[in-house]
Amino acid sequence: MSGANPGRHALGGENVKSMATINFVSGEAGGTGSTDSGLGTRNTHGVLNAVSWGTLMPLGAMMARYLKVFKAADPAWFYLHVATQTSAYIVGVAGFATGIKLGSESSGITWSDHRNIGIVLFIFGTLQVFALLLRPKKDHKYRLYWNIYHHSIGYSTIILSIINVFKGLDILDPAEKWKKIYIGILIFLGFNAAMLEAFTWYIVIKRKRAAAHDKHSHGVNGTNGVNGYGARTHPNV
């Protein structure tokens, strides 16, 4: 109550863990009890989406970006990437389905932002599945456009996934430790991504320098003054 007027309680946490039916004609109440089944569905929804969209998706992207720099990892990195992202999509679809179920069971409560982002994620994930099926060969003229499409949708999915996981945590309002655990997972992934990014650039630059050195060595032979075409060069040129 707020003075003599009934107030509004929060729509999360302890406030949505129990319910009852009141007949205003007879004044009788019935159906009082805990909504453990509903809470279980919400927890399942949260865990599925945090694992799939919020964890496996970024992990799969890291595999594609950082493993392929190692020549010995080709083509293993591609299959690991596909397996991780496909698993994330399958688990994510299960999480999406539980979200639809929750929405149908609580028509009076609507979390528009969380719902809309979830729909976009489902669409983006499905587009990535089609991208795998339509992937052209490396030397195909449309490969550049496919790369732009695949990367832009992929990174957008990761960003939206993380945002929506935090929105879901705010709605579910679990114990504070669960949000801290997910933040810890993101910090772990982010730290490793930063280290691997620096190492990747080190390897790429090193290979370019080695390739330039080899090209120069084959182009001019400093010992006998003969260039790569077999013609003798002047020692002062």
Count the neighbouring beta carbons within 10 Å of the beta carbon of residue 63. 21
The tokens for 37 are 């089944």
The two tokens of residue 35 are 């909504």
Cα four-point dihedral sign 75, 133, 155, 97: negative
Q: How does pLDDT run across 178-236, given as a tens digit for each residue?
A: 899 999 999 999 999 999 999 999 998 988 888 887 777 766 554 554 444 444 444 44
Binding residues: 45, 81, 114, 150
Residue 88 forms part of a structural domain: yes
Quick check: is 234 in a domain? no
Residue 199 lies in a domain: no
What residues make up the domain containing 119?
A: 34-126+158-183
- Of the two residues 107 and 48, the one the predictor is more confident about is 48
Task: Describe the crossing of helices 76-105 and 112-133 by its angle, rounded to 10 degrees.
Answer: 150
109-113 contacts, C-beta under 8 A, 24 or more apart: 109/11, 109/16, 111/167, 111/171, 113/167
Q: Is residue 164 part of a domain?
A: yes
- Spatial neighbors of 63 by CB under 8 A, at least 6 apart, are 77, 80, 81, 84
Residue 189 lies in a domain: no
Q: Which residues are annotated as a binding site for heme b?
A: 45, 81, 114, 150
Pull the structure tokens for residue 88: 């994330």
Residue 111 lies in a domain: yes
Residue 214 lies in a domain: no
Domains held by the chain: number: 1
**Length of the chain (residues):** 237
Is residue 19 domain-resident? no
Give tens-digit pLDDT for 131-168.
888 888 888 999 999 999 999 999 999 999 999 999 99
